[in-house]
């Protein structure tokens, strides 16, 4: 799914504070902030009306920010124009205090290039602790993604991994409050130049930024007037899907496609989620903008068969392509990839839970992001292009009364536990999915990549 999953991603990429962007993974050759007089102003490539609409949707739909609520916001430095629009909408909505934190790609790179070795096992714990405190005090959370997905791909992978681990540990208490929806939160994207160059490598930088901006605006449903109403409608469609699935109470899903024969058991007491969710503070938020998926928790000991990835996975600057894995009793017992296999196997060795599933998500092949044909190198978008599964940590939200379950109960019901949560795409136009009841009865869910 996206919320947790995105937040998991956040832990490693987007939420990492300035010094610590360890998981975004190329070289930065320029930046609109430090451009010289001969460069075009890239933010001029971004439609200001749509940008403002994205800010409005983030505040009114993504967060549903309440009067008096504080807002903690993280963003790449390039996203300053969007941060300004968000601050205005947030204050108009009654925000108490809006506190933005900016990360900067050059500052992050300075650490990897010049920092002494001993520093890579440390994190700014005082800051992460403060964030946990803010979330426990009902502060809403907005993350703007947009860093170069290849930022750290040229840096020492050992240092990247160590810094990532140190941050993960330090951020854990704050992350749990997000993953468990203690407060309302939302992730949106800004078309920064360094990201746009990765997605559109063959065009001029200003053209790339304009193209990525339009792709983000369309996927985020802010390309037309009436964006807030469009989101209400979209949420209603997703709710209809989750209600049907929750009514069915499938024991398992069976996937078949060329190279795919996979049975994914669903966790006992699993609940399907999609679109808007109500956080524990009573506020209904859309944690991911865009979002097209419905998702739930698989049973981490009841997955068997084999599956291949339908799209490349961009992980910390490495493209992992044509993943082929075999599951036995929930566990990946064989893993191959035509590219990035070594990184894949390192990931699987992170901990015991890294070889088991924590999420299963359904996305029709006709989703707008799939139809765009773009690889965004960012899970916020790419996971909404196809049905997917995620290795690693599950989300308590995807259980009936999940907020009341202990970690032990969640584990007993089949929920997986891990330091990682990595989504990868398995759906295509050839994917058939059956819902399988406990008595063996089968109900068509997807046929040829679309809802049956």
What minimum distance in Å lies between the beta carbon of 113 and its own copies? 8
Minimum gap (Å) between residue 227 Cβ and its own copies: 20
Query: Shortest distance, CB of residue 40 to its own copies, whole angstroms?
Result: 6
SS3 130: helix
Question: Considering beta carbons, is residue 102 or 244 the nearer one to its own copies?
Answer: 102
Residue 364 CB, shortest distance to its own copies, in Å, is 39
In whole angstroms, how far apart are CA 148 and each of 168, 190, 193, 195, 248? 20, 11, 8, 4, 41
Please check whether residue 42 is in contact with residue 195, taking contact to mean a CB–CB distance below 8 angstroms.
Answer: no
Smaller CB distance to its own copies: residue 174 or 307?
174
First to last CA, the chain: 21
- 446 forms beta bridges with 433, 451
CA atoms in the 13 A half-sphere facing the CB of 165: 12
Q: How far apart are CA 57 and CA 62, in angstroms?
A: 6
**CB 125, min distance to its own copies, A:** 8
How many helices (H) and strands (E) in the chain?
Answer: 13, 21
Q: What does the alpha-carbon distance between residue 298 and residue 301 come to, in Å, rounded to a whole number? A: 9
Q: In terms of CB distance, is 34 or 248 closer to its own copies?
A: 34
Question: How many C-beta atoms surround the C-beta of residue 70 within 10 A?
Answer: 18
**Nearer to its own copies among residue 104 and residue 293 (C-beta):** 104
Minimum Å gap between C-beta 132 and its own copies is: 9
Contact residues for its own copies (CB under 8 A)?
Answer: 17-20, 33-37, 39-41, 43-44, 67-68, 70, 77, 80-81, 83-84, 87-88, 91-92, 94-102, 104, 106-107, 110-111, 113-116, 118-119, 122-124, 126-127, 129-131, 133-134, 137, 139
C-beta closer to its own copies: residue 98 or 276: 98
Closest to its own copies by CB, 19 vs 269, is 19
Q: Residue 155 in 3-state DSSP?
A: coil
Q: What phi, psi does 302 have (nearest 5°)? A: -125, 55
Residue 233 beta carbon to its own copies: minimum distance, rounded to whole angstroms? 28
Check the CA dihedral 6-213-217-365 and report its sign: negative
Instruction: Tell me the CA distances in angstroms from 127 to 89, 124, 150, 249, 400, one per residue in order.
Output: 26, 6, 26, 42, 33
Q: How far is CA 9 from CA 4, 24, 351, 419, 452, in A?
A: 8, 10, 17, 11, 31
Rounded to the nearest whole angstrom, what is the least distance from the CB of residue 420 to its own copies in the complex? 23
In degrees and rounded to multiples of 5, residue 76 shows phi and psi of -70, 150
Residue 67 or 202 with smaller CB distance to its own copies: 67
Q: Give whichever of 137 and 342 is closer to its own copies, judged by the CB atom.
A: 137
**At closest approach, how far in Å is the CB of 20 from its own copies?**
7
For residue 440, report the phi and psi dihedrals to the nearest 5 degrees.
95, -10
Q: Which is nearer to its own copies, 7 or 104 (CB)?
A: 104
Confirm if 366 and 390 have CB atoms less than 8 A apart.
Answer: no
């Amino acid at each position: 799914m996206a919320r947790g999953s995105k937040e998991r991603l956040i832990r490693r990429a987007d939420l990492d504070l300035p010094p610590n962007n360890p998981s975004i993974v190329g070289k930065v050759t320029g930046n609109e902030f430090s451009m010289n007089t001969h460069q075009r102003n890239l933010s001029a490539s971004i439609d200001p009306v749509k940008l403002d609409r994205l800010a409005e949707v983030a505040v009114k739909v993504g967060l549903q920010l309440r009067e008096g609520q504080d807002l903690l916001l993280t963003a790449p430095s390039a996203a300053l124009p969007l941060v300004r629009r968000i601050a205005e909408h947030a204050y108009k909505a009654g925000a108490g205090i809006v506190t933005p934190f900016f990360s900067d790609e050059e500052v992050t790179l300075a650490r990897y290039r010049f920092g002494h070795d001993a520093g890579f096992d440390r994190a700014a714990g005082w800051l992460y602790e403060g964030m946990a405190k803010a979330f426990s005090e009902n502060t809403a959370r907005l993350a703007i993604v947009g860093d170069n997905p290849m930022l750290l791909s040229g840096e020492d992978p050992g240092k990247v991994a160590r810094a990532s681990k140190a941050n993960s540990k330090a951020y854990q208490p704050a992350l749990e409050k997000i993953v468990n929806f203690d407060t309302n939160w939302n992730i949106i994207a800004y078309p920064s130049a360094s990201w746009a160059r990765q997605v559109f490598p063959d065009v001029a930088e200003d053209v790339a930024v304009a193209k990525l901006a339009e792709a983000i605006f369309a996927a985020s449903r802010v390309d037309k007037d009436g964006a807030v109403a469009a989101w209400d409608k979209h949420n209603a469609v997703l709710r209809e899907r989750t209600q049907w699935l929750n009514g069915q109470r499938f024991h398992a899903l069976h996937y078949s496609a060329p190279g795919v024969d996979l049975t994914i058991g669903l966790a006992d007491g699993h609940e399907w989620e999609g679109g808007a969710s109500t956080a524990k503070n009573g506020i209904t938020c859309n944690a991911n903008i865009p979002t097209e998926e419905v998702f739930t928790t698989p049973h981490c000991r009841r997955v068997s068969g084999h599956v291949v990835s339908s799209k490349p996975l961009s992980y910390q600057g490495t493209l992992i392509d044509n993943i082929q894995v075999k599951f036995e009793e929930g566990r990946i017992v064989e893993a191959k990839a035509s590219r990035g296999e070594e990184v894949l196997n390192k990931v699987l060795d992170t901990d015991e839970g890294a070889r088991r599933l924590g999420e299963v998500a359904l996305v029709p092949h006709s989703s707008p992001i799939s139809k765009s044909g773009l690889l965004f190198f960012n899970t916020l978008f790419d996971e909404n292009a196809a049905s997917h599964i995620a290795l690693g940590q599950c989300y308590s939200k995807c259980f009936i009364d999940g907020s009341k379950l202990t970690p032990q109960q969640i584990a007993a019901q089949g929920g997986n536990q891990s330091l990682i949560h990595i989504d990868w795409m398995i759906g295509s136009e050839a994917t058939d999915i059956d819902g399988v009841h406990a008595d063996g009865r089968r109900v068509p869910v997807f046929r040829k990549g679309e809802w049956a």
